Amino acid sequence: MSDRDPFAEIERALDTFGEQFGVDLDSVPTDIVDAGDAYVVRADLPGFDSEDLDVQLADERELTISATHSESAQSSDGRYVQRERRRQSVSRTVRLPAAVDEEETSASYDDGVLTVRLPKVSADGDEDGTDIPVN
């Protein structure tokens, strides 16, 4: 029999896979949609509660989504022979293509999907640009 930990072997294999193929397995999968007047960011965060989530916007363009969840197996009778605890923490920062209005942002969390709506900053009516006459 081998004294090797099969779970440690699996963890090493996943780390190697991530390094070779540029896949961050601890990252939060996100979609960024340009909805015309706003950017909509959807992030998959299954297994978290809304209280576990932290969403922050910096410099009108950098959205950071973090989630941390802790749980423990509880036993009320006898002494612990084994006690397992799980802590999961993920984070993702995305840079938006243009500045957004920090005051008008909103977020909702439903069935493991975080949706953040970030209205674009208007250019005070100059959305089509400025005409430059050619002589």
- Which tens digit of pLDDT belongs to each residue from 26-54? 578 899 999 999 999 999 998 888 999 99
Query: Could you tell me if residue 30 is inside a domain?
Result: yes
Query: Could you tell me if residue 133 is inside a domain?
Result: no
Domain assignment of residue 79, given as a range: 26-119
Q: What domain count does the chain have?
A: 1
Query: Could you tell me if residue 125 is inside a domain?
Result: no
Please state, in angstroms and rounded to a whole number, the distance separating the CA atoms of residues 71 and 65: 20
Please state, in angstroms and rounded to a whole number, the distance separating the CA atoms of residues 88 and 26: 10
Query: Could you tell me if residue 79 is inside a domain?
Result: yes
Query: Could you tell me if residue 51 is inside a domain?
Result: yes
Whichever domain contains 60, its CATH number is 2.60.40.790
**Burial letters 46-60, b for 16+ CB under 10 A, else e:** eebeeebbebebeee
Per DSSP, the three-state class of 116 is strand
What pTM, to 2 d.p., does this model score? 0.65
Query: Could you tell me if residue 20 is inside a domain?
Result: no
Please state, in angstroms and rounded to a whole number, the distance separating the CA atoms of residues 118 and 134: 37
pLDDT of residue 127: 47
Query: Could you tell me if residue 132 is inside a domain?
Result: no
Average pLDDT for residues 8-29, to the nearest whole number? 65
Query: Could you tell me if residue 110 is inside a domain?
Result: yes
